[in-house]
Amino acid sequence: MTSQDRPSLGRRPLGGPPVHRPRRLRTTPAMRALVRETRTEPSQLVLPMFVAEGLTEPKPIASMPGVVQHTRASAREAVREAAGLGLGGVMLFGVPEHKDAVGSGALDPDGILNVALADARDEVGDDLLVMADLCLDEFTDHGHCGVLDDQGRVDNDATLEIYGRMGVVQAESGAHLVGPSGMMDGQVAVVREALDDAGHTDVAILAYAAKYASAFYGPFREAVDSSLQGDRKTYQQDPGNAREALRETLLDVAEGADIVMVKPALAYLDLVASIRAAVDLPVAAYTVSGEYAMVEAAAEKGWIDRERTVSETITSIRRAGADIVLTYWAAEIARRA
């Protein structure tokens, strides 16, 4: 068959009007909505919240405009609002007044994170998922995600023992789901075993499976009054590594994770997509403090359209394959839905 014999596949002679007009599907708002491929529902969003000990009123976080350290009372209000907006959940972080080398406040049933979990569960019952960050960094005076050995290194296995106990305390405080975020080897298996042994077989685990040593966490350090000395590069992932993220994720799946997460989100959309293709579990991604702060700062300068940028940001994460997005914009997006 010669080129002249081949069917034209709908092509018109050079210079003629096009046969295929994709713009037909962009003509009106109603048409664009009809054919939109990626949508974000409030139930797919999780609101991270900081609850601080000793506050009498919410304390604004300067590097995260619009985000605060909550009092227990204001946290209750925010959790109640989140349930009313139809959000998927809230992820609670505790900010204690006192810290020590082993993060003992994390295991105290009367510690700020655990009482905040109890408050939230009391407020919303099962109408909203109450999630707990399971890590020691907010509670240690050195700011690391685990306890240190006699040479000042994070002791992986000694930390695991604490994580197991921490998961049980959080479950007993009311958490529907716990999120081991310290990137210790074996953390999901240890937490799952501890929860099951304590009878908390229904408490789910959101594994921070691919958590990178990122510069985008800067404002978060202010949000939790971090005491970090040094960095976390020996346990959080190197930003240049992708295959390692898949390995970490598959290990967490094998250890019993119910959901796996990529953190940060925007700089790692390739990992969101590849992990979505590799696993059958729900995949989450966390729009972290620095990603939030960049948008807010540029919008404050008038350099970008804030509302459209927020929408595009979350859409990009969903389009990459995330089923769940943790974002400080969750309530705002739900109000606009």
pLDDT above 90 for 245: yes
Closest CA to 317 of 282, 268, 246: 268
- Judge whether 168 and 185 are in contact, CB under 8 Å: no
Q: Which pLDDT belongs to residue 15? A: 72
What pTM, to 2 d.p., does this model score? 0.92
Q: Looking at the chain, how many residues does it have?
A: 337
Mean pLDDT to the nearest integer, 268-274: 97
Q: Which pLDDT belongs to residue 16? A: 80
Mark residue 29 as left, alpha or beta (left: phi above 0; alpha: psi -120 to 50; beta: remaining).
Answer: alpha
Which are the catalytic amino acids? 211, 263
CA dist 134 and 197 (Å) reads: 18
pLDDT above 70 for 10: no
CA dist 308 and 295 (Å) reads: 11
Q: What percent of the chain has pLDDT over 90?
A: 85
For residue 215, the 8-state DSSP code is: G
CA dist 199 and 191 (Å) reads: 12
User: Residue type at 219?
Assistant: P
Mean pLDDT of the chain, nearest integer: 93
Mean pLDDT to the nearest integer, 214-241: 83
As given in the structure block, the two tokens for residue 319 are 């389009």
CA separation, residue 17 to residues 9, 12, 20, 26 (Å): 14, 7, 9, 18
As given in the structure block, the two tokens for residue 328 are 């400080």
pLDDT above 70 for 9: no
pLDDT tens-digit series, residues 84-103? 999 999 999 999 999 999 99
pLDDT above 90 for 127: yes
For residue 148, the 8-state DSSP code is: B
Helix (H) / strand (E) containing 193: helix 187-197
Mean pLDDT to the nearest integer, 213-238: 82
pLDDT tens-digit series, residues 272-300? 999 999 999 999 999 999 999 999 999 99
As given in the structure block, the two tokens for residue 104 are 């003992």
pLDDT above 90 for 6: no
- Judge whether 283 and 325 are in contact, CB under 8 Å: no
DSSP string, 217-247: GHHHHHHTT----S--TTTSBPTT-SHHHHH
Closest CA to 55 of 291, 281, 225, 234: 225
Q: Report the SS3 class of residue 210.
A: strand
CA separation, residue 181 to residues 76, 210, 260 (Å): 24, 9, 11
Instruction: Centre a 10 Å sphere on the Cβ of residue 152 and count the other Cβ atoms it contains.
Output: 10
- Reported as a pLDDT band with limits 50, 70 and 90, residue 219 is confident
Interior/surface letters 6-39, b for 16+ CB within 10 angstroms, e for the rest: eeeeeeeeeeeeeeeeeeeeeeeeeeeeeeeeee
* Residue 285 β-bridge partners: 262, 325
DSSP string, 15-72: TSPPS--GGGGGSSHHHHHHT-S----GGGEEEEEEEETT-SS-EE-TTSTT-EEEPH
- Judge whether 322 and 265 are in contact, CB under 8 Å: yes
CA dist 293 and 313 (Å) reads: 13
